[in-house]
Structure 1
Amino acid sequence: MAPSPPRVACHRAADTSRRTLISATFNHTIIASRDREESARFYTGLLEARPVASWGPFTNILLDGGVMLQFAEPPVEIQMQHYAFLVDDAHFDRAYARLVATEVLHWADPQMTRPYETNTEHGGRGVYFKDPSGHALELITRPYL
């Protein structure tokens, strides 16, 4: 039988003889962009994020929950990535209206066979589209799990 992986104490309760374990939380990611300012504006408008202090090669925005998206212009060819964002129904309506108003091509499915539609998968609504650098984005109103 393989040994269990070690457990790391991340937070001590008031009673130092007991340890409370917490899982990791997502803090930030760097999104490769052709134009970091344009990408930051696109995500800020669609996700209703707020700009925060930027430094070095990064233009930064902050999502609810303290997750930071950092946009950078790498000196290499950008490979498409997929990013999915969970929003409530009212936010979905606002974001979808913005996609339509700015004529962003979008699909109901990740295979891109149902253009200009949304889906009702997983008990909520969803839509797929690309950001200015070609990354595949998804907005959903219900988590998959």
Structure 2
Amino acid sequence: MTVQLNHTIVAAHDKQTSARFLADILGLEVSPQYGPFVPVRIPNGVTLDYMDADGEITPQHYAFLVSEDEFDAIFGRIRGSGLTYWADPFHRSPGRINRNDGGRGAYFEDPGGHSLEIITRPYGSGS
């Protein structure tokens, strides 16, 4: 058996809003609610299951490997939505993208404060 990540739970103050945000930005669909979860299935089969959480949410980081064409579309939606984006995980380079490993990448936040990232090349894959 090959070990694969199947799903992870993402804490949110409003699971519907956060799931819709991710789906809209990435060009995906929100799946029907399943128990307390609102899932967003990523094309590689992993599901992010949004769940309402009370109190403070500890921000997590979610990185999505996308094609060059998908990057253009997603980045267009990020800019079109007026979202702040950064070239780095520490948010020191606002309004810029990175060119790590010969690809492109950008960081932005979801409504719950989670750090989301799109990259076109896996880290360490460049020359």
| Same fold, judged at TM 0.5 (above) | yes
Give a deviation string over 1:53-80, Cα, whole Å, max 9, x none. 3222111111102111110012342101
- Local SS of the residue matching 2:8: strand
Gaps of 5+ in 2: none
Q: What are the equivalent positions in structure 2 for 1:28-107 lying under 5 Å apart? A: 28-107=7-86
Structure 1: distance between partners of 2:45 and 2:61: 20
- Local SS of the residue matching 1:115: coil
Asked if structure 1 preserves the Cα contact closer than 8 Å seen for 2:13 and 2:54, the reply is no
Asked if structure 2 preserves the Cα contact closer than 8 Å seen for 1:47 and 1:63, the reply is no
Give a deviation string over 1:11-56, Cα, whole Å, max 9, x none. xxxxxxxxxxxx2011111110111111111110122222223222
In structure 2, the residue matched to 1:6 is: none
Structure 2: distance between partners of 1:127 and 1:87: 11
Tell me how large the CA RMSD over aligned residues is: 1.2
**RCO higher in 1 or 2 (8 Å CA, sep ≥ 6)?**
2
Structure 2: distance between partners of 1:117 and 1:66: 30
Structure 2: distance between partners of 1:124 and 1:41: 27
Asked if structure 1 preserves the Cα contact closer than 8 Å seen for 2:12 and 2:112, the reply is yes
- Local SS of the residue matching 1:64: coil
Structure 2: distance between partners of 1:75 and 1:133: 12
Structure 1: distance between partners of 2:16 and 2:30: 11
Asked if structure 2 preserves the Cα contact closer than 8 Å seen for 1:51 and 1:60, the reply is yes
- Local SS of the residue matching 1:133: coil
Instruction: Find the structure with the greater CA-based Rg.
Output: 1
| TM-score of the aligned structures, taking structure 2 as reference length | 0.92
Per-residue deviation, 1:135: 0.5
In structure 2, the residue matched to 1:109 is: 88
Structure 2: distance between partners of 1:34 and 1:126: 27
Gaps of 5+ in 1: 1-9, 11-22
Asked if structure 2 preserves the Cα contact closer than 8 Å seen for 1:118 and 1:125, the reply is yes
- Corresponding pairs, count: 124
